[in-house]
Amino acid sequence: SSPRSLPPVCLSRLSAQFCLLPSRAGAAAAMDGHGHGDGRQPMLEKGPPSHRERHFTAGEVVRDVIMGVSDGLTVPFALAAGLSGASAPSSLVLTAGLAEVAAGAISMGLGGYLAAQSEADHYKREMKREQDEIIAVPDTEAAEIGDIMAEYGLEPHEYGPVVEGLRRNPQAWLEFMMRFELGLEKPDPRRALQSALTIALSYIIGGLVPLLPYMFISTVQDAMLTSVGVTLLALLFFGYIKGRFTGNRPFLSAVQTTIIGAVASAAAYGMAKAVQAR
Amino acid sequence: SSPRSLPPVCLSRLSAQFCLLPSRAGAAAAMDGHGHGDGRQPMLEKGPPSHRERHFTAGEVVRDVIMGVSDGLTVPFALAAGLSGASAPSSLVLTAGLAEVAAGAISMGLGGYLAAQSEADHYKREMKREQDEIIAVPDTEAAEIGDIMAEYGLEPHEYGPVVEGLRRNPQAWLEFMMRFELGLEKPDPRRALQSALTIALSYIIGGLVPLLPYMFISTVQDAMLTSVGVTLLALLFFGYIKGRFTGNRPFLSAVQTTIIGAVASAAAYGMAKAVQAR
């Protein structure tokens, strides 16, 4: 059977912008990963094995680890390679690299945690607004249910009973509008802190890989060569794993992840050389 | 009226993990931003002004710029401050900072672009799989429509006509399942490259802010103090703007964004000091 599939969006802080594309994939990933606590759970339990299987995906923790590690492998690696290119001493490359890892981990962890709180606030605000509208302009909101259904070629006589059914049950109606009109799922605050910590820790672990050689090899050129070799292998490995978990061709994912790291370090190297040349 | 509201998720690569939370908010943001080309457009056009207004949000370009700039302001700033703490010369702080900006921009731009392609592939795969299932096990898929409806307290006699209506129109049925069962929206490939370039460029611009003082002030301590002052002001400003566009309390967003930058730079500073002390 085909590999369990997760949308690749947002598996890396470096591809965060993907959540801005016209897609619910990132959220679908979260949702699929969230068998418990999301509205689809009843369906999953009722669904036949093939469907339960389709919705089975890597846990969020695994995704957080992959995301943190592969990001940690990229930027600190590129920075260290760049500084080595600028013939900085190993000790300084290490200092800069570890400083970047600390900064990146804090930013991802803290930034992520605060973003989770904002997301929860946003959900509450939207829910309140939707609730007020259901009370204030019920006919308008009811018409919107029809509008959503009509997009799928359904006729008023077909969706009419659904509209009436929802109107009889305001709480269900609110939940229906939150999910199908606004496309919002109830956030899980507990998850926020855990996710932030997991990603921050994984970023540190990933970031240490390219930096370790500089701890033990004093000759910066040798340290750099070792770091490049070790990190490119690690990028291939994690790119493959990432591909597995995102349901993409793992080898393609491995190659792409490695190319990003290589190009980024080449850019950092070139930039460092250029600045030195001033 | 309350500010136009966008979910704050994924507005920063540093909060990427938010797409992994059980929420469609990130996607909803994208969708809302995507009046054209997303399934909701017909509804928006039919909807009354209040609703068209509610779905009006900042363009994706604006979001990409905010995301890139605020990220650029954070990590390069922290790195520069950290290295200054390790009493590295201004030239080297600048070298490291610009190398990080180059690496970060490439990673975000290229990583984002490749992630967009993967997302498009993922959508195609899921659509194919869903289509095959609609052909192979139509009754199972039809039952899933009912399962989704039943979650909202709807009775079989209420959603029955909807199920039949969708069965009569396989294309609409497929689209319905993609969106309401799998929570996937058709990605926009053209948008991918534009988004990647916008974010990369914004990251460079944001990253230059904390580094400029090091270009003109040779005394590293003076350069650092100037950089810290300028960057904290910029973080306050962009945090406020971000809050405006994400529908969060702008002042809270300003303070949080600034705190993240401050804590990250403190961590980088402490790390650099610690490494030097070895």
User: C-alpha distances in angstroms, B254 versus A218, B80, B160, B228, B242?
Assistant: 43, 22, 50, 16, 8
pLDDT of amino acid B115: 76
- Asked if B10 lies within 8 A of A25 by C-beta distance, the reply is no
User: C-alpha distances in angstroms, B240 versus A88, A177, B156, B248?
Assistant: 38, 29, 49, 9
Using the Cβ of B46 and the Cβ atoms of chain A, whether some distance falls under 8 Å is answered with yes
SS3 content of chain B, % helix, strand, coil (to 5): 80, 0, 20
Provide the strand spans (E) within chain A: none
Separation CA B102–CA B203 (nearest Å) = 9
Set of chain A residues whose Cβ sits within 8 Å of the Cβ of B270 = 102
- Asked if B264 lies within 8 A of A107 by C-beta distance, the reply is yes
- Asked if A88 lies within 8 A of B100 by C-beta distance, the reply is no
pLDDT of amino acid B59: 67
* Closest-CA residue to A243 (of B118, B2, B106, B30): B118
Residue whose entry in the numeric block shows the structure tokens 């969020």 = A60
Distance from CA of B86 to the nearest CA of A (A): 8
Q: Are A120 and B248 in contact (CB under 8 A)?
A: no
Provide the strand spans (E) within chain B: none
Set of chain A residues whose Cβ sits within 8 Å of the Cβ of B90 = none
pLDDT bracket for residue A5 (50, 70, 90): very low
Question: Mean pLDDT score of chain A, rounded to an integer?
Answer: 76
Q: Return the sign of the alpha-carbon dihedral for residues B91, B93, B99, B105.
A: negative
Using the Cβ of B187 and the Cβ atoms of chain A, whether some distance falls under 8 Å is answered with yes
At B64, the amino acid letter reads: D
- Asked if A15 lies within 8 A of B111 by C-beta distance, the reply is yes
Partner-chain residue, chosen from A14, A26, A181, that has the shortest CB–CB distance to B26 = A26
* Closest-CA residue to A42 (of B144, B24, B167, B166): B144
List B residues 125-184 in contact with A (Cβ-Cβ < 8 A).
Answer: 125-126, 129, 133, 137, 140, 143-144, 147-155, 157-162, 164-166, 169, 172-173, 175-176, 179-184
Distance from CA of A177 to the nearest CA of B (A): 10
Partner-chain residue, chosen from A20, A99, A140, that has the shortest CB–CB distance to B64 = A20
pLDDT of amino acid A25: 31
Separation CA B125–CA B210 (nearest Å) = 44
Set of chain B residues whose Cβ sits within 8 Å of the Cβ of A64 = 17, 20
Query: What percentage of chain A carries pLDDT values higher than 70?
Result: 78
Partner-chain residue, chosen from A6, A20, A275, that has the shortest CB–CB distance to B98 = A275
* Closest-CA residue to B111 (of A264, A81, A73, A19): A264
DSSP A178: I
Mean pLDDT over residues A245-274, rounded?
88
Set of chain B residues whose Cβ sits within 8 Å of the Cβ of A235 = none
Residues of chain B predicted below pLDDT 50: 1-58
pLDDT of amino acid A24: 27
To probe the interface with A, which of B5, B6, B23 has the most A CB atoms within 10 Å?
Answer: B23
Tell me the two tokens of residue B115.
Answer: 């992630």
* Closest-CA residue to B108 (of B12, B18, B31, B190): B12
Distance from CA of B233 to the nearest CA of A (A): 18
* Closest-CA residue to B24 (of A14, A5, A23): A23
Separation CA A275–CA B275 (nearest Å) = 24
Tell me the two tokens of residue B119.
Answer: 């997302």
pLDDT of amino acid B32: 34
pLDDT of amino acid A156: 87
pLDDT of amino acid A46: 34
Partner-chain residue, chosen from A19, A173, A246, that has the shortest CB–CB distance to B9 = A19
Separation CA A166–CA B154 (nearest Å) = 7
pLDDT bracket for residue A70 (50, 70, 90): confident
Distance from CA of B128 to the nearest CA of A (A): 12
pLDDT of amino acid B12: 35
Set of chain B residues whose Cβ sits within 8 Å of the Cβ of A47 = 140, 144, 147
- Asked if B158 lies within 8 A of A164 by C-beta distance, the reply is yes
pLDDT bracket for residue A258 (50, 70, 90): very high
Burial of B194 (C-beta count, 10 Å sphere; 0-12/13-18/19+): middle
Set of chain B residues whose Cβ sits within 8 Å of the Cβ of A103 = 74-75, 78-79, 82, 264-265, 267-268
Residue of B nearest to A199 (CA): B17
Long-range Cβ contact pairs of A255-259 (< 8 A, separation 24 or more): A256/B114, A257/A70, A258/A232, A259/B110
Set of chain B residues whose Cβ sits within 8 Å of the Cβ of A112 = 14-18
* Closest-CA residue to B191 (of B37, B12, B80, B40): B37
- Asked if A96 lies within 8 A of B75 by C-beta distance, the reply is no
pLDDT of amino acid B236: 94
Set of chain B residues whose Cβ sits within 8 Å of the Cβ of A11 = 115
Using the Cβ of B49 and the Cβ atoms of chain A, whether some distance falls under 8 Å is answered with no
List A residues 223-242 in contact with B (Cβ-Cβ < 8 A).
Answer: none
Predicted model pTM:
0.73
Partner-chain residue, chosen from B24, B37, B102, that has the shortest CB–CB distance to A267 = B102
Distance from CA of B53 to the nearest CA of A (A): 13
Give residue-wise pLDDT tens across range B134-186.
Answer: 898 888 888 888 888 888 888 888 888 888 888 888 888 898 888 888 877 77
Give residue-wise pLDDT tens across range A140-197.
Answer: 888 888 888 888 888 888 888 888 888 888 888 888 888 888 877 778 777 788 888 9
